Amino acid sequence: MTVLDDIIDGVREDLAERRRALPLEDVRATALAAPAPLDAFRSLGAGEGGSLAVIAEVKRSSPSKGALADIADPAALAASYEQGGAAVISVLTEERRFGGSLADLDAVRAAVGLPVLRKDFTVDEYQIWEARAHGADVVLLIVAALSDDDLRSFLALTHQLGMNAIVETHTADEVRRAVAAEARIIGVNVRNLKTLDIDRGVFAELAHLITSGTVVVAESGVRDAADVADYAASGAHAVLVGEALVRHQDPSATIDEFRRAGRTAWSSRGAAARS
């Protein structure tokens, strides 16, 4: 059994408990009554000011590193991310391995005016309705965890609800599946789901397979501005960053630094292309 399989088994158990407590029809009613979602596709792809978009993550722990930060006030952390220029706030809601919750999502949604990503392991449409009911504008769809039919179905539901999805890939085959499903935002996660090892070179290998007009997100492996610059130079429109922010004493300044690093990398790439 892979790490992903183990996580998903726990996700399904926890989902069954929530479904027993709150039927899908009740979740749907709340979702449909919620304010209209914000446009994360535009936020991530606009490249405001020529700078890379940063998806800043509220993340307490991870399977690879264990405890990362004691985040007593996720709303305050998210507000500092917004102040630093983040384009989207990502909130981990998986509890067993990441220490997250839907309560964190509620707190962040109430605190910021940016699009909010519910980052979890989506295996059932209930979770998409649930995300919308709690104010999320974006969900994560991991290609490795879904059949092609489920991927297309879940994408269609997010669009029906006015939401966006980051479709996460790890291999060339998964990128091709995401492109075939007409994903508008494709993430390349450089963490191996079987070993949890990081290989930053994977991003450059896969990014060129993603079709023009798609927002490309680099996921995992960001330690500093140099990593951000490398991703930007290889075609990233956005980076998703958790650990490097929650462990930093000034996450707002770090986001600004990352955005400037991306802008410099883009400028250098453009100058090289013109020469």
- pLDDT digits over 164-202, tens only? 999 999 999 999 999 999 999 999 999 988 788 999 999
Predicted confidence at residue 269, as pLDDT, reads: 65
Q: Hey, which residues are catalytic here? A: 57, 59, 119, 168, 189, 219-220
Predicted confidence at residue 66, as pLDDT, reads: 83
Q: Mean pLDDT, to the nearest integer, of 156-165? A: 98
Helix, strand, coil share (%) of the chain residues, nearest 5: 50, 15, 35
Query: If pLDDT is split at 50, 70 and 90, which confidence band does 274 have?
Result: very low
**Alpha-carbon distance 90 to 87, whole Å?**
10
Helix axes 74-84, 251-274, angle to 10 degrees: 30
Predicted confidence at residue 29, as pLDDT, reads: 98
Residue 91, SS3 per DSSP:
strand
Q: Which domains does the chain have, with CATH numbers?
A: 3-274 (3.20.20.70)
Average pLDDT, the chain: 93
Quick one: which of 3, 62, 52 has its CA closest to 243? 62
Are 89 and 81 spatial neighbours (Cβ–Cβ below 8 Å)?
yes
Give how far Cα 172 sits from Cα of 64, 179, 232, Å: 23, 11, 19
Q: Which single residue is written with the structure tokens 């709150």?
A: 22
User: Comparing 22-26, 67-71, 140-144, 236-240, which segment has the lowest mean pLDDT?
Assistant: 67-71
**Alpha-carbon distance 75 to 88, whole Å?**
14
**Alpha-carbon distance 258 to 145, whole Å?**
30
Quick one: which of 47, 50, 48 has its CA closest to 215? 47
